[in-house]
Amino acid sequence: MKRLLLALITATCLASPVHAWNAEGHRTVAEVAGPDLSPRARAEVRRILHQHPDQDISLAEAAVWPDKIRDDQRYDHPTWHYTNIPFFDEVPPRQLRSQIDVRWAINHNTRILKDRRASLSERAIALSWLAHLIGDIHQPLHATSRFAPETPDGDRGGNDYLVHLRPDDEGIKLHSYWDAAGGLYLDGANRSRVVSLARDFRDELPRVDSEVAVVDPRAWADESHDLATDVVYKDLHPGDVLSNEYISRARQTSKKRMTLAGYRLADFLNRVF
């Protein structure tokens, strides 16, 4: 099982560097959101996305779009996908320079989406980014950089932290492993499977109003950072072979975060519209 998992994750990582969740993960977040959209929000999403650069795409496809246009300088914003909240691990804390990040980008695109003076095309691009970034910010390693003796300048959200699925493999970036949700979606999920997964996630993890009610992107990032320190990096060392227990924990944590991101995306759009 680990051999197949490694091959699938490696193939995905070669095709798509530094994404939060893979395409199926982002589509799943949007599909989780779908049933909770109000009729007005659903209609507005459809109307606005009709003017998207990719023309009349679904919310699920809009959520993937910011990863598809990384080579297009008209639309790409690399620093929007993450925030590097520091995790100082056996090194003294220090002040870091702030930058435009996912928290800023969510607020920025929210202003555009709400602006009735903006063109529908501009609002469609903002909506696409928001559907994507609300997924991104719930991935623990898109809110964390570990500062340690071996990575004194930070590990870039696990991109400079190698782990193994087998003792004899070449290793995989911890960031890429979590983007792949521990391999949860790497079996060629088509749309019908994504819809089925989203339905299963909603059944298994019904919305908890007190969690969904948290609306501040800074709080979402703090949650992800706490999971990075308490789950992702816990009892783990660079070069470790991941245990079956770790793989199971990664999948369950990822499932919970994507499901919560979907509920929050729906409530966000209902508030906007």
The mean predicted confidence, pLDDT, of the chain is 92
pLDDT at 16: 41
- Model confidence over 138-188: pLDDT tens digits? 999 999 999 999 999 999 999 999 999 999 999 999 999 999 888 776 555
Integer angstrom CA distances of residue 226 from 8, 113, 143: 28, 30, 9
Alpha-carbon radius of gyration of the chain: 18
Report the share of the chain in percent with pLDDT over 70.
Answer: 91
Q: How many CA atoms lie within 13 A of 108 on its CB side?
A: 13
What does the pLDDT look like over 174-222, one tens digit per residue? 999 999 888 776 555 678 889 999 999 999 999 999 999 999 999 999 9
Q: Can you tell me the distance from the alpha carbon of 203 to that of 93, in angstroms, rounded to the nearest whole number?
A: 42
> Where is pLDDT greater, at 9 or 69?
69
HSE, CB side, 13 Å, CA atoms: give it for residue 123: 19
Contacts for 241 with CB less than 8 Å, ≥ 6 apart: 163, 164, 165, 166, 167
Query: Rounded to an integer, what distance in angstroms lies between the CA atom of residue 42 and that of residue 251?
Result: 30
Say whether pLDDT at 133 is over 50.
Answer: yes
Interstrand relation of 86-88 and 145-147 (parallel, antiparallel or unpaired): parallel
Question: What are the residue boundaries of the structural domains of the chain, listed by start?
Answer: 2-272
pTM of the model: 0.92
- Residues 48-60: what's their mean pLDDT? 95
pLDDT tens per residue across span 91-128 = 999 999 888 999 999 999 999 999 999 999 999 999 99
SS3 74: coil
What's the pLDDT at 110? Answer: 99
Which CATH architecture group holds 2-272?
Orthogonal Bundle (1.10)
Q: How confident is the model at residue 5 (pLDDT cuts 50, 70, 90)?
A: low
18 has pLDDT over 60: no
Classify 235 in phi/psi space as left (phi over 0), alpha (psi -120 to 50) or beta.
Answer: left
90 pLDDT tier (thresholds 50, 70, 90): very high
| Cα-based torsion angle of the residue sequence 193, 198, 203, 205 in order, rounded to the nearest 10 degrees | 130
